Amino acid sequence: MAKAKRESGKLNKAMLRRSMCVLLVLIFLTAGVTGGRLFYLMVVKGDELQAEASDQLLYDTTLAAPRGNIYDSNMKVLATSATCWTVYISPNNFKNIKDSSKLEAVKAIIAEKLSEILDLEYDDVYAMTEKTDSYYVTVKRKVEKPEADAVREFIANFSEYELSTYIGLDESTKRYYPNDNLASAVLGFVGDDNQGLAGIESFYDSELTGVPGRVVAAKNAQGADMPFSYEKVISAQAGSSLVLTVDSYIQHVTEKYLEAAVIENKVANRGVAIVMNVNTGAILSMAVLGDFDPNEPFTLSESDNALLEGLEGDERSKKLAELRNKQWRNKAVSDSYEPGSVFKIITAAAALEENLTSRHSSYNCPGYIVIAGHRYDCHKKIGHGTQTLEQAISNSCNPAFITLGTRLGADLFSKYFEAFGLTEKTGIDLPGEVSSLYYTADKMGPVELSSASFGQTFTITPIQLITAISAAVNGGYLVEPYVVSQILDADGNIKKTTSTTVKRQVISAETSKLLCEMLETVVDGGGGKNAYVPGYRIGGKTGTSQKMVEINMTGKDNLYVASFCGIAPINDPEVAVLVLLDEPMGSSYYGGTVSAPVGGQILADILPYLGYEPQYSEEELANLSVSVPSVIDSTIASAKQKLTTVGMSYKIIGNGDTVIKQVPAAGQSVSAGSKIVLYTDNTEPAKVEVPDLSGMTPSVVNSSAASAGINVEFSGNTIAGSSVISYKQSVAPGTKVDAGTVITVYFRDNTAVDFAAAG
């Protein structure tokens, strides 16, 4: 019995030991699994889980950095940033709404009110509320203050729905261009995230872009901000600002006259005009028409929109992208073309520098020249006969310049082509500059050389051409063009100033001076006479280059690029103006007829602005417009004396003794001998009909205007001879105006042709 008890006790102890062992093993296994899980969660997945927890407990958002301003050369704002807001919703927080009817009501009121305030489609906003896996869904960016305030008011007025849990506003910035289209090709524009996408905005994006800030704040279980809790703000740092070389006034003048020329001459492939300081390389203006409004860069012009009519699907999308890219493209730096006879400046410079010709060297032009069996015609079919180099430049004679090209030969021609910077990009601080296309010396035969000597068989950009011409007239120095003069930090301190970069001297000062003297004859009676400005010495060169463009499956038709480059003052050059009209479809396509007047108009406005006083000849003084004096509140006798003193006549209407109204108004410019209508009582002004004043000489315009009872102001060259005729007037024929009203009449010499035929 006792033995049985002892055996039983041993068995119990063994079972206890086994149980304890099993228990210990289970404890160790549990501890191991738990420890491994803790290790996995804390070490392996620790960062990820911590981030998820932070996302649920912390609100972390970016504060947009204000983009730096862009100023013109006089510190007028061309581009700036202002505060705006991004409206967003947090659909993930809808999970906290357990009542399905309340959930639907919240989503419906959000979709209804936000679509109404932000001008969006209800269905689009409602679809955003369905993205319940997202804490942040952007409803609309670039929301301005009135709409942002309306969103805040909406949230406050519907407090029963706790809308602040689901709707938020993040402060951001929006780019503004206060002058709309002005200098848009230079400025470019920004995208939705304020990144530069074109122009200066793109090229200097890293400078203009600031450093974003951050706000980190605690959230409650519903995702709403908790007041009086954790918040950390890291302020955004504003970007640097840019000061351009572009002058707003000169830019406005350039665009005004270029736009008028593009419309008047029915230019199919846009126009370009550049004003550049020939000595420093600073771009004073750069205009491309048609252009765009950088405030609405994706909006097309009416004419371009018409090209989309009837297109659908991929075809429409492709055409839309093509038209947008075209209007954004800066034709001045991104499109190359055959410059035509304007390039003769470079050929003449090279030949003069190499002593292969002189000012009075003789050239014979029978109307053509034959090189290697290839006939080249002069634009004057009967020829210019015997002429000097100076006359050949003024006449833009192709045979004379082909002779110069032949004398230079392929090697020397190519040497100067390269020296003038035409084999490389200019290095201007704008995006999209393209390279030139040309024959190298080893590939240039007699025919290619002949065509190249007058500006055909190679392509260069407008910025390359005006840079090369600047070197030819500024003493021979090739300078690098630029549009940004200074970079300023956020406090307005100067970080960097651009200085003139002289790459090399291409020709001597003596050659440059001689060339300038000969270029003056082009405007003073030569092919560029339509760029003449009374009181100023201007030189230049016109060009009409031929384009061969296929228009159908079987044939080709000729299109042209009409251009003019003017330099002023030609006796001490400061500015060059290049005007290019690509494919004019109007009554004329010659550079001397359609582009030279634009150059003259630009120079007439900007030279006085730049501080150059006119110095008139006696002939110019005799034809000069005069300013109408003020005679209001004067007695009749006093008014008569004031008007006759400045060579004006008068007509009195009314029975009073004192002038109470005058037409034209004081300060308006009129031609000498104009008649001023004086009113001495409240008699209703007499109405007259504006006649058609086009196609007339200045004297005939004067007599026709006088007969009609109106006054005229002349614009353009009116003393170049009997070939000068009017071609445009500021008020359309048939319009009823007050007697004495001033009409501007524009003149040009239609014999000023300049044609570089494709060889």
Catalytic residues: 341
Contact 470, 345 (CB under 8 A): no
| Alpha-carbon gap, residue 196 to 193, rounded angstroms | 9
Which residue stretches of 373-397 are H helix? 389-395
Contact 420, 468 (CB under 8 A): yes
Radius of gyration of the chain, Cα coordinates, nearest whole angstrom: 38
| Alpha-carbon gap, residue 89 to 135, rounded angstroms | 7
Whether the bond between 664 and the residue before it is cis, its omega within 30 degrees of 0, is yes
| Alpha-carbon gap, residue 268 to 523, rounded angstroms | 27
Contact 573, 278 (CB under 8 A): yes
Which residues lie below 8 Å from residue 257, measured CB to CB, with a gap of 6+? Answer: 273, 598, 601, 602
Torsion of CA 606, 611, 612, 613, to 10 degrees: 110
| Alpha-carbon gap, residue 605 to 621, rounded angstroms | 18
- The owner of tokens 């700036």 is 80
Backbone angles phi, psi at 187, to 5 degrees: -70, -40
| Cα separation values, 112 from 95, 146, 151, 523, 718, Å | 20, 18, 12, 67, 67
| Alpha-carbon gap, residue 367 to 376, rounded angstroms | 9
Q: Buried b vs exposed e over 390-415: b needs ≥16 C-beta within 10 Å?
A: bbbbbbbbbbbbbbbbbebbbebbbe
Q: What residue ranges in 157-261 does DSSP mark as E strands? A: 167-176, 213-218, 231-234, 241-244
Q: Which two tokens stand for residue 618?
A: 């006696």
| Alpha-carbon gap, residue 262 to 254, rounded angstroms | 12
Three-state SS for 571? coil
| Cα separation values, 645 from 222, 629, 666, Å | 86, 10, 15
Residue 525 CB-density burial (10 A; 0-12 exposed, 13-18 middle, 19+ buried): middle
